[in-house]
Amino acid sequence: MKPSDKLKVAVLMGGPGGEREVSLKSGKAVATALREAGHEVMSYNVTGRSFPSLEEMKPDVCFVALHGAFGEDGTAQELLEQMDIPYTGSGPIASRLGMDKIASKRLFIRHSVPTADYLVITPMHTFEEAAAQTEQFGYPVVCKPAASGSSLGVSIVRRPDELRGAIQTARQEGHVVLAERYVRGREFTVGVLEGEALPVIELVVGRQFFDYKAKYEDEHTRYLTPVSLLPTIYRKTCEAAMRAYHAIGCRHLARVDMVYGYDGRLYVLEVNTIPGFTPRSLFPMAAAEAGIPFAALCDRLVRAALRDAAAAQRRRTA
């Protein structure tokens, strides 16, 4: 690397939400990788919903490793744009849409992205109304907060008498709840890097589903790549991931979670606009399978952020 290629990078990590500890792990891993890539790195621990003193640090670019509220809901991105600091990942609108599972569902349907049937339970619904709506699907159903990450607040509801507790659990993370038809099948995740699908990873878990403990704590969780899929299904999986990425309007990177149902259909669950970068995280694992080492991946993302910021500046002044 030439001295002129060395960048001053602020890695934003932590945040005020429930995914703070995971974000700190992601940020520390990214900071180490960017130092290995030859950059000057400043680890910026976010404790609230603002960036005090960030402008005074004068970074060339920010690597956003903030998961969950503030980091993924578009707020952090809006602040960075107001400060005119380039940053990795999706812009404010795509971040907000990706974080909002209901908005994502509507976009999936509009853009022909395969997804499971769902209904919305708001604070205005009584429990009896919610139970009556849920009967449309039959059981089991999945209850999840409409805007949360790392599978926080998610439950599989197998019987009507479990529904009230599941709604209460989801509402600990947000007032609006998404109830989704449960799809039995194989779980996959597909990273998308600058509009191109990375190798598919299959998730094999010993728990009910790929929840917080399965993601970050359970040593029995296994990740399979390359996956055993017919070439036509593999291609459809990658195509569904890229359609979901573009439907949300993502930039630079995202991770798309889906299920290949035992009914022979694919169902996209959600788009993660800031996937994890911890030692157990799936996006860097997929990049490594594609021949992109972790340090090179982080370097590529900060350079993509600078490239796009420069292009946006040219458009504004043209």
Question: Tokens at residue 70, please?
Answer: 């503030």
Give me the CATH number covering residue 79.
3.40.50.20
Residue 79 lies in a domain: yes
The pLDDT profile of the chain, 318 residues, written as one tens digit per residue, is 555 689 999 999 999 988 899 999 999 999 999 999 999 999 999 999 999 999 999 999 999 999 988 999 999 999 999 999 999 999 999 999 999 999 999 999 999 999 999 999 988 888 888 888 888 778 899 999 987 655 778 999 999 999 999 998 998 887 889 999 999 999 999 999 999 999 999 999 865 544 445 444 556 789 999 999 999 999 999 999 999 999 999 999 999 999 999 999 999 999 999 999 987 899 999 999 999 999 999 999 999 999 999 998 888 887
* Structural domain ending residue among the three candidates 164, 181, 198: 181
Looking at the fold, whether 20 and 107 belong to one and the same domain comes out as no
Residue 238 lies in a domain: yes
Q: How many CB atoms lie within 10 A of CB 103?
A: 15
Looking at the fold, whether 102 and 230 belong to one and the same domain comes out as yes
Taking the model in full, what pTM does it have? 0.90
Looking at the fold, whether 105 and 229 belong to one and the same domain comes out as yes
State residue 216's pLDDT score: 46
Residue 41 lies in a domain: yes
Q: Is the dihedral of CA 156, 258, 144, 279 positive or negative?
A: positive
State residue 214's pLDDT score: 46
* Structural domain ending residue among the three candidates 181, 214, 232: 181
State residue 91's pLDDT score: 97
Residue 172 lies in a domain: yes
* Structural domain ending residue among the three candidates 181, 201, 223: 181
φ/ψ region of 125 (left if φ > 0, alpha if ψ in -120 to 50, else beta) reads beta
Looking at the fold, whether 13 and 84 belong to one and the same domain comes out as yes
Give me the CATH number covering residue 227.
3.30.470.20
Residue 262 lies in a domain: yes
Residue 294 lies in a domain: no
Looking at the fold, whether 143 and 269 belong to one and the same domain comes out as no
Residue 309 lies in a domain: no
Cα–Cα distance, 232 to 216 (Å, whole number): 32
Instruction: Give catalytic residue positions.
Output: 19, 150, 216, 255, 257, 270, 272, 276
Looking at the fold, whether 101 and 221 belong to one and the same domain comes out as yes
State residue 262's pLDDT score: 96
Looking at the fold, whether 54 and 104 belong to one and the same domain comes out as no
Cβ 298 vs Cβ 292: under 8 Å? no
Q: Which amino acid is at 60?
A: D
Cα–Cα distance, 188 to 285 (Å, whole number): 13
Looking at the fold, whether 140 and 8 belong to one and the same domain comes out as no
State residue 253's pLDDT score: 98
Looking at the fold, whether 109 and 128 belong to one and the same domain comes out as no
Give me the CATH number covering residue 139.
3.30.1490.20
Cα–Cα distance, 135 to 133 (Å, whole number): 5
Tally of domains in the chain: 3
Cα–Cα distance, 199 to 237 (Å, whole number): 10
Looking at the fold, whether 253 and 129 belong to one and the same domain comes out as no
- Residue 246, judged by CB atoms within 10 A of its CB (0-12, 13-18, 19+), counts as middle
Domain that holds residue 198: 97-114+184-273
Looking at the fold, whether 36 and 136 belong to one and the same domain comes out as no
Q: How many CB atoms lie within 10 A of CB 318?
A: 5
Closest of 59, 75, 38, 99 to residue 305, by C-alpha: 59
Looking at the fold, whether 110 and 169 belong to one and the same domain comes out as no
